[in-house]
Structure 1
Amino acid sequence: MKETLRYLAGIAGPSGFGSNSTAEQVTEEDCSRSKPSPLTAIITGATSGIGAETARVLAKRGLRVVIPARDLKRAGEVKDRIHQENPQAEIILLKLDLNSFASIKKFCSEFLSLGLPLDILINNAGKYCINLEFSEDRYEMTFATNYLGHFLLTEILTEKMIETAKETGIEGRIINISSGVHSWARRERFKFNSMLNPKNYNGTEAYAQSKLAIILHTKELAKQLEARNARVTVNAVHPGVVNTGIASDLKGMISDSIYFIASKLLKSTAQGASTTCYVSLSSKVNGVNGKYFADCNESPCSVLANDESEAQKLWKQTQELMHSQLTLAKTTK
């Protein structure tokens, strides 16, 4: 109840920011992190919504922004809007479809061939499927996009981030976008093979499970980075419930009066991007690893999300899946 009241009132937490803070506000004092040479950030899902706002604000703070996108036309429109505000911004567009392991590997190869550093990786893209759909690799679409795709992307790019941090002395940061909905996932239903190919599909359950998997991945990866003494951290973020097209879709399902009241509780896109930008740039987050953030402050997550054995098991199962897929891809070339 206390957290709900704090959210509704927009009361700032220990970081000095709260639910009403915008991405620009939380980065005003820490834009020096990208000096003297620009930091490089990859942001998935940056063609709309929170991702596009994150790209705009980070570019405004002097970062070089790489936008991987399935639709390069939409990505180009985001780039044009950023350049209208900031003509000097360096925006790089590359093709990426998170539903395809082959596309992820190709993107990583193309990015690494550019010879750029990599300081920040923001795994922001998300998918919600009402009906059962499958990825190119024949896995349930929500789980494949939100979790598997980002797992593989991070796995391939982590070495570059460790290398960059060692060369520059600047802490690398991986930010995984999760959701408070992760707490809806139930232990008895959180079964790896069932999530890959569910027999009884429920869209909301699949979404919650994918967001739980993201936090478990975050916590296990944090432990592995610490064991290597790598100067790279990884944290999970809950952006809040943002006033986007998904929220508008609900209007036809409820009365106008209830929708009006509910809409006042939703965050704007600028507010929704604030926690991602804060964790990306704030000096107050230096050395913070394996945590879950909401409203720009560390926040508790579910008991299941804190289960170390569950995180280790999920990591092992995912690694085995990725190994078999990558081996298969090599033998079929």
Structure 2
Amino acid sequence: MKVLEEVKPKVATKNLLEIRNLKKYFPIKGGVIQRTTGHVKAVDDISFDIQEGETLGIVGESGSGKSTLGRVILRLLSATDGTITFDGNNLTHLKERELRNYRKDMQIIFQDPFSSLNSKMNVYELIEEALVIQTKLAKPERKKKVEAIVEKVGLRIEDLQKYPHEFSGGQRQRISIARALVNNPKFVVCDEPVSALDVSIQAQVLNLMMDLQDELGLTYLFIAHDLSVVKHISDRIIVMYLGRVAEIAPKNNLYDNPKHPYTQALLDSVSVVDRGENRVPEREKIVLKGTMPSPANPPSGCAFRTRCPFAFDRCSQERPELTEVEPGHFAACHLHTGVKDPVSKLVQYS
């Protein structure tokens, strides 16, 4: 198995994607006439940027809104409010016909390669389909592009006539990657692309994605729940909780010196290697108690306060804003907004 390669820092360039105050609320219907009685706040007022060539990781528990956020950005789901600006163009309210000009530049790799691939189509048909729909290329040109991308993802030309069930999970994900990249997109949402794979295969697929990013100049939004995977592939990381951003930071800052109690709890819940030689060897870990509240009825103030061991009165009364606590490091926590409280309890990896 190829060892995971460490991501090299990228030179800052222009923003490819700008998200401002993005919201996605799903209505809750009830009664005989199915009247709207409430809303599930899956994505609740999120803002961030992604630079060209960057990999922005998103982590959080199931139900935090990670996958919904990715689908709203791609306009697979319509936003309730906010703006999505891609390559200088506002996509938020474009109609489907107008969106077609951007579809080939924005692609997605799904979590389960078996369910996302049509079992009745062979590999050639699966990959060529995007070219048929989104380009005017002649059949010989399409064939050339399909064969080129198949070889780039590590499959053979003779595999093109096979069907998805004839491949292993890792090979099927390579087919999904080829299908997403055949149109030379600029931006790819990776929705937990390795979580359904064996650990022995994950590193191979991740390294393939990193190599393709360097070769093709791709920009990734990488969604995952595995913190060790996100660390290796990402440049910066967003931590989400209940549809909101808890923390944003460059990956090393986040792992070595997390500022939000929820981020620390996530780090404590898994075995994360290579946190740095100077980390505190022994300390009291933060253990998450209870379950995540319902996004249909989130707590007042800070969404995390019902599970936070450091919550105090202000946390229930006022929603903390995302604040820059260090250069490039943002956290939404009242422990970092000038309030004198027992911050010493918040043990940090430093």
Does the alignment reach a TM-score above 0.5? no
Report which of the two structures shows the higher radius of gyration computed on alpha carbons: 2
Task: Name the one with the larger strand percent.
Answer: 2
Task: Name the one with the larger helix percent.
Answer: 1
